[in-house]
Structures are given as structure tokens and as C-alpha cells.
Amino acid sequence: MQLTKKASEIGEKIILYVIGVGAFIAAVGDIVDGILNYNIQIERLFTLFIYAEIIGMVGAYTSSSRIPVTLPIIIAITALCRLIVMHGKDMDALVLLGESGSILLLSGAAYIMSLKGKLSLEKKDAFDSGHD
């Protein structure tokens, strides 16, 4: 059982490092391509934000062995913003409204999750101070 758990942890870390390195290589490739082709557009910048958030998520996991729930939500919000910017003019109004509503819903979820984290810390501090 212990060996299986250790193998699972090692496999998880290897996959996360591959994701981080892959995101970094993709970001560098995107930057180089944009510079060489004189083609820096807002869509490319949103993509770079997504790469940066993925790299940040891997970094957060490696430092704390936890992935904050809000990071994937923020990545999803950025991806939806990128879609709206890329296809906004050609997009059907209902699709645009749906994607905007999704951003609002995800933003609310991220806010609630950030409050949950603060409340958990306050409860932990209150518990710790009561048991000294």
C-alpha cells in the first residue's frame, strides 16, 4: 500500500513537471513566433496569460502540494475571455451572452472559494488560540 502511494505521488509530480515544462515551451514558442512574424495580437496575449497561469498552478502545487481551487477557475475565465475577444464580432448574441454568463458564474465561484479559504483560516486560528 505504501509503495503504491509513493509511486502515485512520484507519477503525479512527473506529470505536473511535464505540464509546466510544456506550458513554458509553448509560451516561448508563441512569443518567438509573434516576434518573428511581427504578429502580437490580443488573442496571443490571452494565450500567454493562460500559459502563465498553468505554470503558476504547477509552481503552487510544488511549493505546497496543493492546487488552490481558484487557479483552475481563473484559467477557465481567461480562456472564455480569449474566446470572446477572438470571436466576439462574429459570434451569435446568445452564445456571447452564454459565455459572459459563464464568466460571471465562474467569477462568483472564485470569490466564494476565496471566502471559504479565509473562513477556514479564521476558524483554524480561533481553534489554535483556544487550545494553547
Share of the chain above pLDDT 90, in %: 23
Q: Which residue has better confidence, 120 or 35?
A: 35
Q: How far is 16 from 115, CA to CA, in rounded Å?
A: 27
Q: Nearest to residue 30, comparing CAs of 42, 17, 47?
A: 47
Q: Residue 60 above 90 pLDDT?
A: no
Domain ranges of the chain: 2-127
pLDDT average, residue stretch 25-48? 88
Q: How far is 71 from 50, CA to CA, in rounded Å?
A: 11
Q: Given this model, what pLDDT does residue 103 score? A: 94
pLDDT tens digits for range 66-125? 777 788 898 899 889 888 888 877 888 888 899 999 999 999 998 988 887 666 656 555
